[in-house]
Structures are given as structure tokens and as C-alpha cells.
Amino acid sequence: MKKKEHYVNNKDFLDALMVYRKEVKLAKEEGRDKPKVPNYIGECFLKIATHLSYRPNFVNYMFKDDMICDGIENCLQYIDNFDPEKSTNPFAYFTQIIYFAFLRRIQKEKKQLEVKTKLLERSGFDEVFAADDNIMGFNMSDMNSIKENLEYRNNRWTVQLLQTSI
């Protein structure tokens, strides 16, 4: 049976990080700006974040792209904290960073949803959707459809967020 190849080769990833660390150290000693992160390392961050987003606890979020971007941003932010002398597994290190970035994004979106829901509740659906029979090309059935869609989404989001909190 053929061995399945991983989407990120940990050894190559570690080698690339070690070369990058040497470049950063040399630039710092010479008083130059920090060098750009190589494309290979960026691709590894993207692959890790993308594949982590396929996990069942992250797959159905509408803001999955934001989660991936947050994960990559955090990897770039903490790339200098990875120490090859302490760990030779950069895949695990950056997967953890991305995982917690995903959880932070979910919490942000959960808070934002609560704010939106409270605003709608306080102002009341009827006031938000109050309109004449045909304002801006919408009739009351269109407005009711939007209202029902919002209520459905709100219930679905609440269930989703509660499931990930458990």
C-alpha cells in the first residue's frame, strides 16, 4: 500500500524556517530591515489553515475565509517565536496558532451576532422592516421573507455557536 503524502512536509518546512531565522538574524546584525517571509513558508501557513478549516467543528461557518486569514496573520506575527532548538515540529506549532486564531474569530463573530440580534430585538422587527406596500420595489411578502430568513439564520447561528462552545 502506497504511503499517503502529507500536504505539508514537516522536514522541508523546518528547513525553510531555519534558513529564514538565519536571514532574520543576519539582517538584524547588519541593521537591515527584516526580510520577507519566503513564499514556501507562506504556502505552508495557507495549507495548514485551509486544511484545518475542513475539520467538522469549523467547516460550516460563513466567515471561514476570515478565520483562515486570521490564522495566517497570527502565524506571521509569531513566526519569530518558533525555536527549532526546542521543537522540530513546526507543523504542530503553527497548527496550534491557527486553531486558536479560529476560536478567537468564532468568539468575535458570536459577540457581533449578539449585538445585531439585540439591536433587532430592541428596535423590533416591525420597525426595522416597516414599509409601505411597495417601497423600493419590495412588497410586504418580500419583507416577511427577509424577516423569516433573519430569524432562521439567527437560530442556526445560535445552535452552531452553542455546539462549538460545548
Torsion of CA 60, 66, 68, 70, to 10 degrees: -140
Residue 157 has a pLDDT of 63
Mean of pLDDT over the chain: 83
Q: Are 52 and 13 in contact (CB under 8 A)?
A: no
C-alpha distances (whole Å) from 4 to each of 8, 9, 14, 47, 89 are 12, 12, 20, 16, 19
Model pTM?
Answer: 0.72
Q: Give me 135's grid cell.
A: 417601497
**Higher model confidence: residue 86 or residue 162?**
86
In this prediction, residue 128 carries a pLDDT of: 58
Tens of pLDDT, residue by residue over 26-51, are 999 999 999 999 999 999 999 999 99
The 10s digit of each residue's pLDDT in 133-153 is: 455 555 565 556 666 666 776
Domain boundary assignment for the chain: 1-106, 124-166
